[in-house]
């Protein structure tokens, strides 16, 4: 038995890392980043990346964690908002 694929997205295009970033679950985010071969710049159905979810919700630990893993802070969602805009 191998377990679940951490890059599998739900009906909204959200992955477990996306949810961890939104909720500010640093432990889950670290585990997913350590165990999975994830696309850090993957977008959900609204064009939001994991980093955008973390920044949008004020989760600075998760934001820094993703930036230190080279997530791109310049990727905009469908409305044109980037993680940098949310962080400002």
DSSP for 20-67, please give it.
HHHHT-HHHHHHHHHH----TT---TTS--HHHHHHHTT-HHHHHHHH
- Selection from 23, 22, 25, 29 nearest residue 68 by Cα: 29
**Cα–Cα distance, 55 to 60 (Å, whole number):** 7
* Structural domains of the chain, with CATH: 16-34+44-87 (1.25.40.20)
pLDDT tens track for 4-26: 788 899 999 999 999 999 999 99
Q: What is the pTM of this model?
A: 0.92
pLDDT single digits (tens) 29-88: 999 999 878 999 999 999 999 999 999 999 999 999 999 999 999 999 999 999 999 988
């Amino acid at each position: 038995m191998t377990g679940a694929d951490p890059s599998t997205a739900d009906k909204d295009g959200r992955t477990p890392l996306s949810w961890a970033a939104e909720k500010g679950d640093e432990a889950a985010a670290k585990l997913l980043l350590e165990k999975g071969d994830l696309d850090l710049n993957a977008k959900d159905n609204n064009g939001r990346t994991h980093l955008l979810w973390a920044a949008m919700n004020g989760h600075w630990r998760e934001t820094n964690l993703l930036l230190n893993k080279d997530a791109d802070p310049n990727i905009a969602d469908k409305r044109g908002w980037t993680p940098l805009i949310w962080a400002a």
